Structure 1
Amino acid sequence: MTVQAVGSATKDPGSGPDTLALTNPPPLRPGRAHAKSGGGRNRERLTAVVAPLCSAVVAIGVWYLISYVFLEPDRQWLVPPPHDVLNQGLLEWEQLEPKLDALMLTARVALTGLLIAVAIGVSVAVLMSRARWLERSLYPYAVILQTVPILAIVPLIGMWFGFSLPSRTVVCVIIALFPMIANTLFGIQSVNREHHDLFTLQRATRWNRLIKLELPAALPSIFTGLRTSAGLSVIGAVVGDMFFRQGEPGIGTLLDVYRQRLQSEDVFASIILASLFGVVVFFVFSAINRLAVGSWHGSGTDR
């Protein structure tokens, strides 16, 4: 039998008569592969920039369409066009300054509530992971805390903690707590059984197993819960501003005031600022996730 192979081939003396061993394979071309890989990464980066810009252009176009086509001129104040929102709500310093001051207060409340929710959520999840009976005892209450409408317990929060900043922080903690508990517990319970066996062979203590195995392995899940809780904490801070008006006004307080005064441009401007703050918080924690997790998990690498 005749076999045509690229490169020089010799017959392997230990093989059968029809087997050929390839001794001089064709050289690889890593340069071309590397160039292709680099080009693919450049296209991905370009797409990551162009796609959001295109969606933003489409959203602004729909916004103009609603303002000028679907609404009558006497009802255009309900959805003012983007340039009016920009000029009257964001570019005039007299209008922008109180919004930024209120946003700073809302940000402080949201971050304080988030830190408390992270500390409580991770601690409770670790406790539940230690024993099944603890999980069965505590997890139903975490679910109930998540499902109870926050507006239904606002009067109780006000009576217990007052109607100022502490109540706003409590609202943030309640809203942001469950994702931290659920994701941390899932991450701890998802550790590979073979890794547990290795620690058992090394006679590791429960503390060493938790610190050196379970929590590091659960980091991707913990940061997933952290990103979710961060967004929910911003929502909780805005909701708390609307209902607890004592003390300095937050962005939610200004939203309610502008709504009562029918200042639509300022309402939309405040919503935009609050949304941008939520986006910034999300991307900050995504960057921290990439630094903490690194490249060993898919959540820590750029896609």
Structure 2
Amino acid sequence: KVAGIGLFFAILVGFLLAVIMSQAAAVEKALFPYLVTLQAIPILAVVPLIMFWWGAGQTSRVVVCILISLFPIIVNTLFGLQSAEKDMHALFTLHNANRFVRLRKLMLPAALPAIFAGLRISAGLSVIGAIVGDFFFGKGEVGLGQLIKRFSSELQGEELLTAVILSSALGVAVFLLFTWIQNKAIGNWSDRADLIS
């Protein structure tokens, strides 16, 4: 549930930022260094800030999911939108297409494989974010993170290994789910245009 909520907001924010940056080079130039910096900061370094601002409940877990899964969506979507061929842009210019028409009919279709590549990556990362968030923010419903923390502190090796394997399996399952959705949505076209996966 937490991973799904976090992924939803990461997709919403990431897609919006990518579209804005694709339409305004000045915005991309201003924002991109900060996004790279945010991605480079270890999530453990911002855990105290997250706890200070949002407490130790479910909201903080969602914030961790968003922070972890946001960057791949932005980067893949942005690079995908920018990947449309110059000749096609020239054709749209010849027909006096406005920004919205160019975005909807040229840039978005060209970006679909890259967008799905970002979704696959971010979906798996959101599961990791949910587990990390649950590990550090213990209020609310107990999840895999709290179980891993408890089994580790109580030296329950078999239970700890089971929880770790389950966490890995969950991440792989979500990744494969989005791969299946991608194949159903755009087929083999994606094989030619994955940017980062």
TM-score of the two chains, using structure 1 as the length reference: 0.62
Which residue identity lines up with residue 12 of structure 2 in the other structure? A
Q: Is this contact kept in 1: 2:113–2:189, CA < 8 A?
A: no
**1:179-238 Cα shifts (integer Å, max 9, x gaps):** 111111111111111111121122212111111110111011111111111111111111
Report Cα offsets for 1:96-136 as digits up to 9, x if no partner.
xxxxxxxxxxxx11111111111111110111111211111
C-alpha distance in structure 2 between counterparts of 1:166 and 1:298, whole Å = 36
Q: 1:266 corresponds to which letter in structure 2?
A: E
| Residue 264 in structure 1 maps to residue 129 in structure 2 | no
Question: How far 1:298 sits from its partner (Å)?
Answer: 2.3
Match of 1:173 among 48, 53, 66: 66
Is the 2:114–2:190 Cα contact (8 Å) retained in structure 1? no
- Which of 166, 183, 186 is the equivalent residue of 1:293? 186
Counterpart Cα distance in 2 of 1:210 and 1:165: 36
Take 2:37 and 2:5, find their aligned partners in 1: how far apart are those partners? 23
Runs of 4+ in 1 over 2 A off after TM superposition: 294-300
Between the aligned partners of 2:192 and 2:139, the Cα distance in structure 1 is: 41
Query: Cα 1:273–1:210, aligned 2, differ >3 Å: closer, same or farther?
Result: same
Map of 1:155 onto structure 2: 48
Structure 2 gaps of 5+ residues are: none
1:237 aligns with one of 130, 141, 145? 130
Query: Percent sequence identity over matched residues?
Result: 52
| Counterpart-to-counterpart distance in 2, 1:293 and 1:198 | 24
Q: Deviations over 1:14-65 (max 9, x none)?
A: xxxxxxxxxxxxxxxxxxxxxxxxxxxxxxxxxxxxxxxxxxxxxxxxxxxx
Q: 2:64 is matched by which residue type in structure 1?
A: V
Q: Which of the numbers 197, 211, 217 marks the counterpart of 2:110?
A: 217
Alignment RMSD (CA, Å): 1.3
Aligned match of 1:275: 168
Q: For 1:296 and 1:274, how far apart are their aligned partners in 2?
A: 31
Supply the distance in 1 between the matched residues of 2:185 and 2:20 (Cα, whole angstroms).
Answer: 23
Partner of 2:77: 184
Q: Within 5 A, what are the aligned runs for 1:1-303?
A: 108-298=1-191
The whole-number CA distance in structure 2 between the counterparts of 1:204 and 1:295 is 29
Secondary structure of the 2:141 match is coil
Structure 2 contact 61–133 (Cα < 8 Å) conserved: yes
Q: How many residues align?
A: 193
Q: Find the aligned partners of 1:120 and 1:291 in 2 and give their Cα distance.
A: 25
Q: Is this contact kept in 2: 1:290–1:299, CA < 8 A?
A: no
State the secondary structure of the residue aligned to 2:189.
coil
Instruction: State how far apart, in whole Å, the 2-side matches of 1:242 and 1:203 are.
Output: 54
| Distance in 2 separating the partners of 1:259 and 1:235 | 18
- Higher relative contact order, structure no. (Cα contacts within 8 Å, ≥ 6 residues apart): 2
How far residue 299 of structure 1 moved from its aligned partner, in angstroms, is: 5.4
**Shift of residue 295 of structure 1?**
3.6
SS in 2 for 1:262: coil
| CA–CA distance in structure 2, aligned partners of residues 295 and 212 of structure 1 | 20
Amino acid at match of 2:77: T
Where 2:84 maps in the other structure, the secondary structure is: coil
The one-letter code matched in structure 1 to 2:154 is R
Q: Which structure 1 segments of 5+ residues have no match?
A: 1-107
CA distance in 1, matches of 2:126, 2:109: 25
